[in-house]
Structure 1
Amino acid sequence: MMISGKNSIGNNFSAMGTDVFYAKNPSSGEQLKTKYHEATVSEVNEAIVLAEKAFVQYREKTGFEKASFLDAIADELFQIENDVVDLCGQETGLPEGRLKGELGRTTNQLRLFASLLRDGSWVDARIDFANSDRKPLPKPDIRQMQIALGPVGIFGASNFPLAFSVAGGDTASALAAGCTIVVKAHPLHPGTSELVGQAILKAAKTCNMPNGVFSLVQGVSNDVGLAMVRNPLIKAIGFTGSYGGGKALFDEAAKREEPIPVYAEMGSSNPVFILPKALEDNQEALPEGLSNSVQLGVGQFCTNPGLTILQDSEKVRDFEQKLQNSISLSQSATMLSESIHKNYTKGLEKLKSKDSVTLVSSGKQQEMPTQGVAEVLSVTAANFLKDMELEEEVFGPSTLLVHAKDKIEVLAIAKNLTGHLTATVHGTEEDLREYSDLLKILERKVGRLLINGFPTGVEVCHSMVHGGPFPATTDARMTSVGTAAITRFTRPFCFQNFPDSLLPDELKTENPLKIFRVENGKTVVP
């Protein structure tokens, strides 16, 4: 596939604007050759109008037809794997193995949503049959299911150029829900975004999907994204990125005459609590595991552990020494961009400028561009509780050790936390019994609570929750990973006293799709 550097307005390439930009290889600092045209507001609006026209047809596609479309996208991505991995490596500096793994994750989640659609029960069909003999008033026939919202705007993420980008989880779940989409490509990997977008468009043609089911717009400025959020035809937004970016979109959507949901996943410090007996029993595994988790992906996962809470003891000093040794031997690695590296460095400098924070250990700096150096810092629980800034995410390979004197301070730290994507507790059975109140506190702070593991790595499955209370996300009721993500882009709709012939198959009395339904308050297994 050839890269045009243009926007994809449905099936047509467009380059109406005069503003252009280039991708840069973060490993070498080299500017790549292809020139990309930033979308104009007119082009963004044209894509959205086309998406609205396509939605009228796409929403009527059966679950099996939409499933075939998602499978076809996965097939097309598999066919261009080498091209995607090669170009994405140039734009992100990520190694081949990581990118092949991420592309596999991307195609697998497309196929997972396809299987969900073929099963069909996800629509949560509910039926209350009519009863004309009911007294004092007859009971009407009422049937409910989830239906698609309409055109959706999606923002590609910087840190996952495939799995959280043009064909990522937001795209898969929105298309599965029956929504048409306009994707704002992330400017750090515009060529990768175009390649993946072309694969989606090819799959759409193969599956006879309407023109406008997918569009891709490029751009560095905020104007492109704001134009998407402000357009009244857009009915929801999916975003993965920084707190500042997500909150700005959320606020902008709230200003609309018709406010819309913005499902923004905005990052997290992912606190890890290591309880006393677990620390005593795992003196080798815990410091090594924490070091690896902190540095995974050069700390650029939204689940890297940025806070580690320890209850002081003799073993804590041993743990800290082993962690210090592990980090000090680590080599710096290439971060995704100059801006991400700059923000990481700035975040560390802010922490280290505080009198209450001390540097425990630092990795080895390599003389190459955008090198992220792993660091471990330390603070007492008393000082941590006085300074809310210490809880903020520093996006990169670092963690802040918070030393608590006793259980009372451990619980105080947990109670004082804002919302995060994950929290982890390392504990023996005895620890977990003694600190059961800690687990209950953390349930109210995060979307996923782990026991004796590390938060990096998010399984794509039916039961995953990748979300959490604000400020980790803008809606704690939702997840951006797993099949439950589909309901972000649907709403419940009720049919009252419809003849069977006019009902969707999911709600017809004979249940032709053989899906699970709730009928008169009871779950009916087909």
Structure 2
Amino acid sequence: MTLVQPYNPATGEKLDSVLATTPAQLQGLLEAAEAARPVYAALPAARRADFLDAAAEQIRAHTEELVHWAGLETGLPEARLRGEAARTANQLALFAALVREGSWVDARIDTPQPQRQPLPKPDVRSLRVPLGVVAVFGASNFPLAFSVAGGDTASALAAGCPVIVKAHPAHPHTSGIAARALQGAAQASGMPAGTVQIVFEPGVELGQHLVRSPVVKAVGFTGSRAGGLALLKLAQGRPVPIPVFAEMSSVNPLVIASSALARPNLAAGLAASISSSGGQLCTQPGLLFVPTGDAGDALLRDLAARLQDTQPCALLTRGIRDAYGQGIARLAEGAEALTPALPGDLPAASQLFQVPLEGFRQNPALAHEVFGPSSLAVRYDDPAQLPEVLAALEGQLTASLHADPAELPHLADVLAVMRERAGRVILNGFPTGVEVGHAMVHGGPFPATSDGQSTSVGTRAIERFSRPFAYQDFPDSALPPELQNANPLGLWRVVDGQRTQQAITQQAISPSEESA
């Protein structure tokens, strides 16, 4: 009998263990998911939307229980977890609205021209269809919004894909509550058994088996670079490779122009962005570019004082705590500490370092992510130095610029490099806090993600778990409603290159219709 043993990271005490899934049980989950796949995919969009709305309500109904256990298993503050619970429910509801409206399928219709010379033009109609069963790996730093009922699960279910979630071993109780909420919503909504399932495991073997299974057609992951790359290697080594949408590492560079140094709330905003949730946010600004001179010195003194006054926090897991200590040691070897160091066995203290631009250039290890409440200030003399340095960085989730808007034409080269290196660029703001909406992009070039063409937050995330599919010369009665002439769902569609909600009233008869 194998157990998953969670700990309270704030106290170190053992919490109640959870029985791990057995290999035989995992095989049963895979068979159930495969049986559910065609049934769930064929359901009308309105039925899937009702299920997602019911799931949102179930998360809201279980908020107290979720917040209680997530607090015990992660040490994160209650206010943060309540906000995350609301976000989890809201994004489920957001995807319900997206599915109910329906235009996300990107229906496109090219009507036929049988008399065209030298060759007739066929009737071709396309839309997005679900990939199949999706394996989702819960994140350590977001026990709700990026875990069992989080964005990967919500977007996969919205696309019409059954989901098997590998619960993060650090918070199995929270994960179990969320899974029961989703399964209750599925049962109440008449979804097929096997639509949402969960796997508990202290190690990696069952997760590896999930990725290797021919039943699974895509993977969603939020976590370390090592973990994401391991899953990517497994997926690419299959007889039939599958996509892995992994969010991995990012230092989120933040550039401060001289004109922004005197802003009264700059140091406070930076301190909050660096230290919030123990710095354990994927968009935490781990790299600051600060002008040399008295004004830059004053900003960093203020920032260091604010970080020093920040209450040290317990990091999510022992592995994260150990990695943070190693990262701080690496920074201390190559940069000047502006905050006092605390012994490694204490809760993680917020740390600030600085290094001259040339020293940063000569020590590439300083650009590596340190997951936790620390940041490195790189001191520069002239903004003209920055494009080359930014271009040498790896792919990022975000890049930020603090400057007077009137300066933007003079900083065009900086912004151009930021656009190449990041999935989102923020002006005069802070990268932490990712709005869940229709326009958000939470992704970026490798290694921020394994697939820089997608996002894991916002409604565009549904595209990851669907693919384009076309029908050619099918009779109208055999087409899905999204592609039928009458447009019974009232979707926005692209018909002969024009976006419209209008029905197709005059259409040449296709060969299939003529023969029918």
TM-score class, shorter: over 0.9
Quick one: distance in 1 between partners of 2:498 and 2:364?
A: 48
2:341 is equivalent to residue 359 of structure 1: no
1:253 aligned residue: 235
Provide the C-alpha distance between the structure 1 equivalents of 2:361 and 2:114, rounded to a whole number of angstroms.
Answer: 63
In structure 1, give the amino acid aligned to 2:160.
G
Q: Match for 2:397 among 405, 421, 428? A: 421
Residue matched to 2:451: 475
Q: How does 1:111-260 map to 2 (within 5 A)?
A: 111-260=93-242
Match of 1:390 in 2: 366
User: What residue number does 1:290 align with?
Assistant: 270
The aligned residue for residue 30 of structure 1 is 13
Question: Secondary structure at the residue paired with 1:495?
Answer: strand
SS at match of 1:421: strand
| Separation in 2, partners of 1:278, 1:91 | 40
Residues 207-258 of structure 1 show CA distances to partners (whole Å, capped at 9, x for unaligned) of 1111111110011211011000000111000000000000110011110000
> Which shifted more, 85-94 or 508-517?
85-94
| Equivalent residue, structure 2, for 1:492 | 468
Q: 2:489 corresponds to which residue? A: 513
The equivalent position to 1:274 in structure 2, one of 232, 256, 259, is 256
Q: Tell me how far apart the structure 2 counterparts of residues 116 and 398 of structure 1 sit (CA, whole Å).
A: 38
Does the residue aligned with 2:141 lie in a helix, a strand or coil?
A: coil
User: 1:370 offset after TM fit, Å?
Assistant: 6.0
Quote how far apart the aligned CAs of 1:196 are. 0.7
Greater mean deviation of Cα atoms: 309-318 or 505-514: 309-318
Equivalent position amino acid for 1:163 in 2: A
For residues 406 and 146 of structure 1, the distance between their equivalents in structure 2, rounded to whole angstroms, comes to 48
Matching residue of 1:19? 2
Q: Does 1:326 align with 2:302?
A: no
Question: Does 2:353 align with 1:377?
Answer: yes
- Looking at structure 1, the residues matched to 406 and 115 of structure 2 have their Cα atoms a distance apart, in angstroms, of 60
Alpha-carbon deviation of 1:300? 0.4
Preserved contact between residue 445 and residue 452 of structure 2 (Cα < 8 Å): yes
Separation in 2, partners of 1:498, 1:235:
27
Aligned-residue offset at 1:349: 1.0
Match for 2:296: what amino acid?
A: V
Structure 1 counterpart SS, 2:240: coil
Q: Find the aligned partners of 2:68 and 2:298 in 1 and give their Cα distance.
A: 44
Q: Which residue of 1 aligns with 2:425?
A: 449
Q: Which residue of 2 aligns with 1:10?
A: none
SS of aligned partner of 2:245: strand
Runs of 4 or more, structure 1, over 4 Å off, are none
Is it true that 1:401 corresponds to 2:377 in the alignment?
yes
Partner of 2:509: none
Rounded to whole Å, the distance in 1 between the matches of 2:381 and 2:272 is 26
Q: Does 1:63 align with 2:45?
A: yes
Question: Which range moved further: 89-98 or 138-147?
Answer: 89-98
Distance 1:482 1:370, change over 3 A: farther
Bigger Cα displacement from structure 2, 42-51 vs 448-457: 42-51
TM-score using structure 1 length: 0.93
Distance of 2:207 and 2:333 partners within structure 1: 35
Letter paired with 2:214: P
Q: Amino acid of the residue matched to residue 283 of structure 2?
A: T
The whole-number CA distance in structure 1 between the counterparts of 2:495 and 2:64 is 50
The code of the aligned residue for 1:159 comes to N
1:292-350 CA-to-partner distances (Å, cap 9, x unmatched) read 11011110010110000122232111112211221222221122122211211111112
Tell which deviates more after alignment, 310-319 or 54-63: 310-319
Percent of aligned pairs with the same amino acid:
43
Extract unaligned runs of 5+ from structure 2. Answer: 503-516
**Superposition deviation, residue 386 in structure 1:** 2.2
Please say if residues 403 and 428 of structure 2, whose CA atoms lie closer than 8 Å, have aligned partners that are also in contact: yes
Query: Which amino acid is 1:129 matched to?
Result: T
Which amino acid is 1:361 matched to? T
> Alpha-carbon deviations, 1:472-508, whole Å to 9, x = none?
0000000000000000000000001111111111000
Superposition deviation, residue 364 in structure 1: 7.2
Say which SS state the counterpart of residue 288 (structure 2) adopts: strand
Q: Is the 8 A contact 1:267 1:302 kept in 2?
A: yes
The residue that corresponds to 1:304 in the other structure is 284
Q: Who is 1:12 aligned against?
A: none
Counterpart of 1:430? 406
1:204 is aligned with what amino acid? A
SS of structure 1 residue aligned to 2:396: coil
2:75 is matched by which residue type in structure 1? G
**Would you say the 8 A contact 2:111–2:123 is kept in 1?**
yes
Distance of 2:457 and 2:94 partners within structure 1: 11
Residue number in structure 2 paired with 1:7: none
Tell me the secondary structure at the aligned position of residue 389 of structure 2: helix
Partner of residue 11, structure 1: none
Question: How far, CA to CA, are the matches of 2:486 and 2:307 in structure 1?
Answer: 63
Question: Take 1:523 and 1:377, find their aligned partners in 2: how far apart are those partners?
Answer: 53
Change (3 A) 1:370 1:524: farther
Deviation at 1:98, TM superposition (A): 1.4
Do the aligned residues in 1 keep the contact of 2:399 with 2:418 (CA within 8 Å)? Answer: yes
Contact 1:328 1:364 in 2 (8 A): no
> Offset at 1:100?
1.1
| TM value normalised by structure 2 | 0.95
Kindly indicate whether residue 442 of structure 2 is the aligned counterpart of residue 463 of structure 1.
Answer: no
Tell me the CA shift for residue 363 of structure 1.
7.4
Offset from partner CA, 1:414-446 (integer Å, 9 cap, x none): 111110000000001233221111101110000
